[in-house]
Amino acid sequence: MRTEAEVPTYASRICFDADSHLMETFEWLASFAEPEVREKLPPLDLASGGPRAAQAIREARLRQEDPVATAELERNVIGGPKGWSAFGAFDPGERSRALDRLGLSAQLVFSTFAAVQFMRSEDPVVRYGGARAHNRGIAEFCGNDPRLLAVAIVPLDDPARAAVEVDLALQRGCRAVWVPAAPAGERSPGHPDLDPIWARLAEARVPFVVHVGSGTRVLRPAYNHNGRKRPTDWLGGGENLRFKDFMVIPFAPQMFLTALVHDGVLERFPALKGGAIELGAGWVPDFLSRLDHAGRTFHKSDPTVRELSLAPSEYIRRQVRFTPFPFEDTGALIVAAGEDLFLFSTDYPHPEGGHDPLGKFEASLDRSGIGENARDKFYARNFRDMMSLPA
């Protein structure tokens, strides 16, 4: 374990974290659900968290009763254990102290597992009641520290119900709304029936976000029928990403954002902001190029394209931001696509973020000779723009 002097700190610059997570415990979602919803919620299945998930929760709760172990963990927030064992994984007081320790100005806080309890349900009472419980819970987790920015979840398949949940989430102080990177039921996310939702978010200066998980499983099951025993996911669980899933992660956000551009959502609501979080960013330069090529190719045959007042990529540049993975060459992405698109993130306390995301990003920026102005955009100003935060 690193010594205290070796712990990475972000206090040398203003730094915002566009991706962090709450590690839910078994009872978390149900404790915030209304009675008629609670009785219909399935239990939380933590198979995707690995075979030791339940034991990790028990050990983390026991650790909280040990001041020596807690102090040791606090000295090494990013470099220490991940998952439920991490400092502040499910305790909001600890999470605030973790931000103190790291010097982060703020971080978006997503849930991890709770969505599987309601987002896949065919019962709209469970789907939207579960979302309401989730948003109540995530708002409470973040409610005592203005640096913790709660991310609500709202399914879009029922526009009327979705509009109600968006309003309630905003009333509770949620600072972003996570929507599935997928069609809204049988509608495109650019369908006019959803315009009241986009208008409300634009008016409130609250961004929509898409994130790995909801809507991003686009690999057709037949690709896994390869005559071999199916492997576990990389955490040893059963429902997380595998090799083929990982390779197609970028497809869902590209389809979703293409619909918002082509269907005119970003044209109609120029104040609407959005983010593609934990979906990588290596695909972004090619995506922008292909958008504009499609605009030129289909301009004559597609009246919807002709109605756009900007080149398709300009809507993305104006209104959407992306988080690169730490292993991606962020410096090269900034060179290729510009300095206004990308956001720093840690994915804390998930293991995917690694033990030194700042060091990895800095090394990449150094290799490409990225200057201080562009670095400040990556670490702070692009986040402020997406979140409509004052300078």
| 193: pLDDT strictly greater than 70 | yes
Taking alpha carbons only, the member of 349, 351, 384, 365 closest to residue 77 is 349
Q: How many domains does the chain have?
A: 1
The arrangement of strands across the sheet holding 208-211 comes to 16-21, 106-110, 148-153, 176-178, 208-211, 274-277, 320-322
| 4: pLDDT strictly greater than 50 | no
Q: How high is the pLDDT of residue 49?
A: 62
| 53: pLDDT strictly greater than 50 | yes
Average pLDDT taken over every residue of the chain = 93
Above pLDDT 90, what percent of the chain?
84
| 239-258 average pLDDT score | 90
| 297-323 average pLDDT score | 97
Calculate ∠ Cα 248-186-151, nearest 5°.
60
pLDDT band at 34 (very low <50, low <70, confident <90, very high): very high
Q: How high is the pLDDT of residue 153?
A: 98
Range of the domain at 37: 4-387
**How many angstroms from the chain centroid is the CA of residue 108?**
8
Q: How many CB atoms lie within 10 A of CB 188?
A: 18
- Residue 133, class by beta-carbon neighbours within 10 Å (0-12 exposed, 13-18 middle, 19+ buried)? buried
Residues 6+ apart with CB under 8 A from 282: 250, 324, 325, 328, 329, 333
User: How many CA atoms does the CB half-sphere of 364 hold within 13 Å?
Assistant: 22
Residue pair 215/120 in contact by the 8 Å Cβ criterion = no
pLDDT band at 52 (very low <50, low <70, confident <90, very high): confident
- Residue 246, class by beta-carbon neighbours within 10 Å (0-12 exposed, 13-18 middle, 19+ buried)? middle
Taking alpha carbons only, the member of 151, 157, 153, 152 closest to residue 194 is 157
Dihedral of CA atoms 159, 164, 165, 171 in degrees, nearest 10, equals 140
β-pairing, 148-153 vs 176-178, is: parallel
Taking alpha carbons only, the member of 278, 345, 348, 280 closest to residue 79 is 348
DSSP 206: -
DSSP 378: I
Residue pair 282/364 in contact by the 8 Å Cβ criterion = no
* Nearest-angstrom CA–CA distance, 86 and 199: 38
> In this predicted model, what pLDDT tens digit does every residue of 207-240 receive, in sequence order?
999 999 888 888 898 998 889 988 877 666 555 7
Among 10-14, 195-199, 203-207, whose mean pLDDT is lowest?
10-14
| 363: pLDDT strictly greater than 70 | yes
Taking alpha carbons only, the member of 324, 327, 340 closest to residue 383 is 340
Q: How many CB atoms lie within 10 A of CB 117?
A: 23
Residues 6+ apart with CB under 8 A from 105: 14, 15, 16, 147, 380
Alpha helices in the chain, H assignment, sequence order = 28-31, 35-38, 53-64, 67-74, 92-102, 124-142, 159-171, 195-204, 243-247, 251-262, 265-268, 284-297, 303-306, 312-319, 330-337, 357-367, 372-376, 382-387
> In this predicted model, what pLDDT tens digit does every residue of 114-162 receive, in sequence order?
999 999 999 999 999 999 999 999 999 999 999 999 999 999 999 999 9
Q: How high is the pLDDT of residue 235?
A: 63
The answer to whether the predicted template modeling score (pTM) of the entire model surpasses 0.85 is yes
pLDDT band at 7 (very low <50, low <70, confident <90, very high): very low
> In this predicted model, what pLDDT tens digit does every residue of 158-187 receive, in sequence order?
999 999 999 999 999 999 999 999 999 999
Query: In the numeric block, which tokens belong to residue 139?
Result: 């708002």
> In this predicted model, what pLDDT tens digit does every residue of 323-345 receive, in sequence order?
999 999 999 999 999 999 999 99
Q: How high is the pLDDT of residue 45?
A: 82
Q: How high is the pLDDT of residue 72?
A: 94
Q: How high is the pLDDT of residue 216?
A: 85
| 1: pLDDT strictly greater than 70 | no
Residues 6+ apart with CB under 8 A from 13: 375, 376, 379, 380
The domain spanning residue 285 has which CATH number?
3.20.20.140
pLDDT band at 277 (very low <50, low <70, confident <90, very high): very high
